[in-house]
Structures are given as structure tokens and as C-alpha cells.
Structure 1
Amino acid sequence: MELKSGLSPNKIWFTSDTHFFHDKVVEYCQRPFASVEEMNEELIARWNSVVHRDGIVFHLGDFCFGKPDNWNYILDRLKGRIFLVLGNHDTRHINEEIASRFECVAIQMRLHVNGQKIYLHHFPFLSYGGDNHGTWQLFGHIHSNQQESNIIDKHRLSMLLPSQYDVGVDNNNYTPVSYRQVEEIIKKRKP
């Protein structure tokens, strides 16, 4: 899917790997929560603290675990219009009813925001039309964090291009990251 017009850079956020209702993710990723219930509530609070009602959120996969009631409980409480790029866990848990709650559900997306080309996928790719074409690639999946203590495929992080960024909650203080924040991060990385 490709979106080109009508996207205001001041109303866009990105996130990934919320894993709502996934009771093992707290332990696996060493998240600072006492329970999955506490994690769910804190992720919702942090999301709603930055995303406006008229905001647009691109969630890059692994949104929620469990039955439709779990998904509905979360979706009923989150601000913004949500576009979902499917992650490896989503395909096991999403159905048509839940998919209809999102603005769009896709395997990948390409955006044009303020002249900037952006490629969205759950997984990081080494070949996506990157730096030499000016395209950013935003991704999740690897659960990177500032301490780099519990990262899937940690050894591969050194291969990423400066125009790639992990928008997952573990890497962004459990909060969606704005377009402007990503823009600043990538500008600082460019030579």
C-alpha cells in the first residue's frame, strides 16, 4: 500500500511491538512492569499522552495477543487513526472483525510525508531502496533498547543504514515516536 497525500508531519506517529496481552513479553524483553495488566495500562497511557484524537499512528506489527475481546478492549481506548502493518504474531490473532477496526491492514506500506519517502515493514531489511534513494525504513520486531541488553539479532544492528530506525516501544520509552522525532534521529545519523 502507498500513501502520498494528506499526511501532515505534525500528526503522525510510529510504533511497534506493543504486544498487548502477551504475558511473556514482560519477561522476554525485560520490560519494567510487574504484570501484563500493568504493561497494557502503561502503554495505553503513554500512547494517549502523545497521540491526538485526530492523529495517525502507523503500528508496525505485533499489536495484540489473544481473542477479539482483547483487541477491542485496547482499540476502544487508544487515540488516533491506526494503520497496521502486520507483524509475525498478528497473523495468528487477527480476524476480519478486528481488521475492520483499523484504517488499513497491510504487509508493508510506503508513505510520502512532506516530500520524504518512508518504507514501513515489521522487519528491518538491508535492501529496501534506502540511503542512496533517500528513503527511510522504519521497522520493529527486534525489540532493541537503549541498553541493548535483550535484543533479537543484536549482532546485525551494525549492518543497518543510518536511514533505518526501530520504532518499537522497547526502543522508545514504551511510547509512539513522532514523525518529527524520527526525522531528527535520522538527520543526526547522516554524515
Structure 2
Amino acid sequence: MRYLSLRSAAREHRGVLSLEMVVVLTVVALVGVGVFLNAGKLFGKNEVNAEMSNAQEISVNTRRLLKDNGLYTYNNATDMTGTLIKFDGAPGSMTVIGDKNSGSATLQNTWGGTVTVEPSTSGGGKTGFTITYSQVPMAACTTMGSKLSQSFGQTSINGSATVGIVNSATAATRCTADSGSTGTNTLRFTSLT
């Protein structure tokens, strides 16, 4: 008799466990759907943050590795970018196109556009440099243009230059819509030091 009562209790308990399991699986499924639906937004934000970090690292490494006696003695963007890559000044997360030891390799951003560093001339010669990002998507353009302008003397978005900080509203009006899945924006960040 005792055996039957234990067996009967076990069946009742299984029924409760099954109902609990259905609730748990439903919650897990809903969370999974939420993550799936928002994954694109999360990855987009990560790409922008990664490229802003890359631009800052390029800036620091350019000053540290390429400035001689207060000047950037390079002829053009190809020469300066290639030398930065050759001296291990390119961020590790960026794509290097070509042989990094050749002095003529190039950089590619997350969106497939080129990233260059070139000397810029001011009153005392080639005392500054400009980092150029191409094929930047519209959402990234607005964020990068406004946030990175705080670290550079001049910011140009699609040819419209601003000395000092670019506010978000101004960046949004200068950034253009994407062409399909390809960004159409060019950002130039100029450091005077």
C-alpha cells in the first residue's frame, strides 16, 4: 500500500514540474526573441564604439610614432598611413590591406571604407595630421562626428568643416543617407599637434 501512495504522489509532482517547465521555456523563448530582434542595434553600437576607439588609438600612435622634431615629415596619406602600419601603430582590430612591413599597406574600417592618416599644414609647417574615414554609415557618422570632434581641432563631415566641437544636430544635418547597405559619409578629423 505504501508503494502505491508514493507512486501516486510522484505523478502529481511531475505534473507540477511540467507546468513549471512550460513557463520557464516560454520565458526563455521570449528573452531569446528579444535578443534576436535587438542584436542588429547592439552590433551597430559596438561597431561605432570600436571605430571611435580606433580613431583615438590612431591619433595617439601618430603623435607618438610619427612626429619628428615637432613635424610630420611625410609626403601624403599613402606614405604616412603605410609608415604608421609598419611601426605597429594601427589598432589591432582594424583590417590591414597589403604587407604591413612594406610601408604602403592601407587600413580598412568596419564598414569596408578606407582610413588614412596624412600630414596637415599650419603656420609652422606640417605640425598636424588628419585622420580620414570613408564609407561611414549615417548613424555612425552622426555619433562619430559629434563625439570625436571633442578630441580634435577641426572636424569635417562630407566637406563641411567645423573648428571645435560639432554638436549632434549639426552632425545629423551633414551626414547623408546610406546607399543600400553602404555608408556614403566621409569624416576628417584634424589635429593641430
TM-score normalized by the length of structure 2: 0.27
More relative contact order, 1 or 2 (CA 8 Å, 6+ apart):
1
Larger Rg: 2
More helix by share: 2
